[in-house]
Amino acid sequence: MLKQLKFNGEVVVVTGAGTGIGRSTAEAVAELGATVVLVARRQHTLDEVKEGIEKAGGKAETFAADVSKESDVIKLREFVEGKWGRAKAIVNNAGNNFIKPLTELTTDKWRELMAVDIDSVYFMCREFIPLLLKSDKPSILNVASTFAHIGNPHMPVYCAAKGAVVSLSRQLAVDYGIQGLRVNSICPGPTLSPRVKGYFDSGSTDPSHTLQKVMLGRFGECDEIGNAAAFLVSDAASFIHGASILVDGGQTIN
């Protein structure tokens, strides 16, 4: 199994790689020998992640892009295609959230969050599937959420978008599995990412209320999600396909 976990220099593209789950995923696949393409909007955060990966002996490239914009994703694909000609895996992690009841949610905010949470997945999959199919045992992992499976107060656009991520992943698995391309989604539970910590610090979310629903009695750490993500895009997970993997400390069984 250890041999199947190794990426042997193959290219893995991770969006939202500047912080949180995306950063942890990038660090994990780099540790397993991937050449990681780090994608996020802010170049300085990408440079920091790249520096850490390289200090640990890994390989990384950066590409600053807003993956909610079709033109940026096309440029990213052109960069990867021009430099390597193919990709082993993509991890579509970029996303955002906004806490607001539906009746108070503006149309502009709805469209903004849908763009980054689901349109980006569409753009990335459409552009990269041809490059993935040039690799042996390629994989797509789309980062959704437990809120794709359960409701949560005042998060209508996030829940809707993450449900769409799971459904799109399942449908792509139907279309492309026959060509050897695995497609899965991962659904993190309450995880102490910088964004979630910000909700707690601002008082917009009560951490004690959230913890009551997690059977392990604690929040997840970003590297716990990143480790699962790295496994799912590796050859060690070669028969996991069309799945929505819950990594939630037991949140959804309660």
Q: How confident is the model at residue 208 (pLDDT cuts 50, 70, 90)?
A: confident
* 204 pLDDT more than 90: no
Name which residue leads in pLDDT, 203 or 32: 32
The answer to whether residues 77 and 118 touch, using CB atoms and an 8 Å cutoff, is no
Tokens of 83: 């430099």
Of 3.40.50.300, 3.40.50.1370, 3.40.50.2000, 3.40.50.720, the CATH number of 2-247 is 3.40.50.720
**What would the pLDDT profile of 229-251 be if each residue is shown by its tens digit?**
999 999 999 999 999 999 999 99
**What would the pLDDT profile of 64-79 be if each residue is shown by its tens digit?**
999 999 999 999 999 9
pLDDT on residue 153: 87
Residue reference for tokens 């309450």:
190
**What would the pLDDT profile of 160-171 be if each residue is shown by its tens digit?**
999 999 999 999
DSSP string, 62-118: EEE--TTSHHHHHHHHHHHHHHTS--SEEEE---------GGG--HHHHHHHHIIII
**What would the pLDDT profile of 84-143 be if each residue is shown by its tens digit?**
999 999 999 999 998 899 999 999 999 999 999 999 999 999 999 999 999 999 999 999
Residue ranges per structural domain of the chain: 2-247
Q: Give the predicted TM-score (pTM) of the model.
A: 0.95
Q: Is 180 left (phi over 0), alpha (psi -120 to 50) or beta?
A: left
Mean pLDDT for the chain overall: 95
Cα–Cα distance, 136 to 126 (Å, whole number): 19
Which residue is catalytic, options 122, 158, 176, 199? 158
Q: Is 158 a catalytic residue?
A: yes
The answer to whether residues 215 and 254 touch, using CB atoms and an 8 Å cutoff, is yes
